[in-house]
Chains A and B, each alone.
Chain A
Amino acid sequence: MSEHDDHHRHDDDHHHPHAAPPNPYLEKRRNGEESAALAARVRAIEALVVAKGLATTAALDRMVERYEHDLGPMNGARVVARAWTDPAYKARLLDNATAAIAELGYGGLQGEHMVVVENTDSVHNVVVCTLCSCYPWPVLGLPPAWYKDAPYRSRVVIDPRGVLADFGTELEPDVEVRVWDSSAEVRYLVLPQRPPGTADMREEELAALVTRDAMIGVTRLAAP
């Protein structure tokens, strides 16, 4: 019955902006007993994988290290800042994103086929994977939980303006919203609009303004 108890705790902890059923799948397995059981299941698989010589324990450690520390939205932010400051780079980025992103040294797993889509005054892009959790790892790292959970994946395709409002993003009624569902191995990155008041800023300063959520397309960047 612990899952049932989690329900109620969840409801008590969050004041939803509108009536909604409880979201049990959003709960993290923080209690010791469940975590211990999950850890034991994972250890059994790891022992088998290592015993069969598929991968070494050190290789698994290294894999974790790369994605926990090296890869993240700071990479995508560099791409965006370069596009804002270098029109020729921006043209290459919109024409062949995989190659243009590789110019800055990024690429590889889950970024083999990149497409960059540009936000303008009249077009707003937002990215999702309704079927699983596809996401451009080389430029954004691993996705946040909300990107992988049911509320976002289900609703952003049918009610993108409502989902953006969950993020505090209010779009003008005449803006065209383009939702990109990553149903194949193509990965999408949103090129946000350069915020006002940044004309004098250098590329490195601009990169510091760029957020993960703006590159998914759920927020717009405010003036600094």
Chain B
Amino acid sequence: MNGIHDLGGLTCFGPVVREANEPVFHEDWERRTFALMMLTGAALGPIDSYRHAIERMDPLRYLQTTYYEHWLAGLERLVVERALADAPPARNTVTAEVVDAVVAAGISAERASDDFAPRFAIGDRVVAKNLNPRDHTRLPRYVRGRQGVIAAIQGNHVFPDTAAHLAGENPQPLYSVRFAARELWGPQAAPQDCLYVDLWESYLEAATS
């Protein structure tokens, strides 16, 4: 969806303001919100679902609330959508004893496959498709329709556009695509500057010019 979260390229928010000696969390409810988001994946995940829940916040609220309020809004939405209150008890409970193992192991998005056959090679010129899906996507608006070059092949990665909706992982090749800053922003950009964006294969087509 073309949501308020897709901020790249806006210049209306003023300078970056930093907080001196910023703590990791400002308030205790932020601590709890963080931990709740991290340890409820079995019922409310995967990570793409959390992201999409935040993206569907009211846009004005999104801009007027703090970061962990976004997470809280996402949690609340998923608790309702997945009907957690009506769900049977979880089969596996995350206990304190396993948290360290969860943190250390991580949750890989890569799905190794013998059939891995990326359509594009490093150096190929590609265009980011002009896609405007109604649901979740990780294709930023600012690259749509723009031409770039395959800079790296990142592996076979879970496709967030379907994973967010529990419609399958559908892993596919993920590429680092290099875009010239001028291709994206025009002559105001420095001629040598560039941006690298990680894009899944189905976001891309071969450049024809």
**Measuring CB to CB, which residues of chain A are less than 8 angstroms from any residue of chain B?**
3, 14, 16-18, 20-21, 23-30, 35, 38-39, 41-43, 45-46, 48-49, 52-56, 58-64, 66-68, 71, 107-113, 115, 130-133, 141-142, 144-146, 148-155, 157-161, 163, 166-167, 173-186
Contact = CB atoms under 8 A, between A and B. Distances in A.
B64 A152 contact: no
28 contacts: A38-B27, A41-B76, A52-B84, A54-B39, A54-B90, A56-B94, A59-B96, A59-B99, A60-B36, A60-B39, A66-B99, A67-B34, A109-B102, A111-B106, A144-B19, A154-B10, A155-B10, A155-B16, A158-B10, A163-B16, A176-B193, A176-B194, A177-B181, A177-B190, A181-B196, A181-B197, A183-B140, A184-B199
Interface string B87-123: 1011001111011101111111110000000000000
Given A62-B100, A184-B157, A130 B6 contact: yes
A38 B69 contact: yes
Contacts of A109: 38, 102-103, 106-107
B140 A130 contact: yes
A42 to B, nearest CB: 4
Contacts of B62: 25
A131 B15 contact: no
B7 A150 contact: yes
A135 to B, nearest CB: 12
A67 to B, nearest CB: 7
Interface SS of chain B: helix, strand, loop or mixed? mixed
Given A39-B29, A63-B35, A155-B10, 7 more contacts: A20-B15, A25-B65, A46-B32, A52-B90, A109-B102, A166-B16, A184-B174
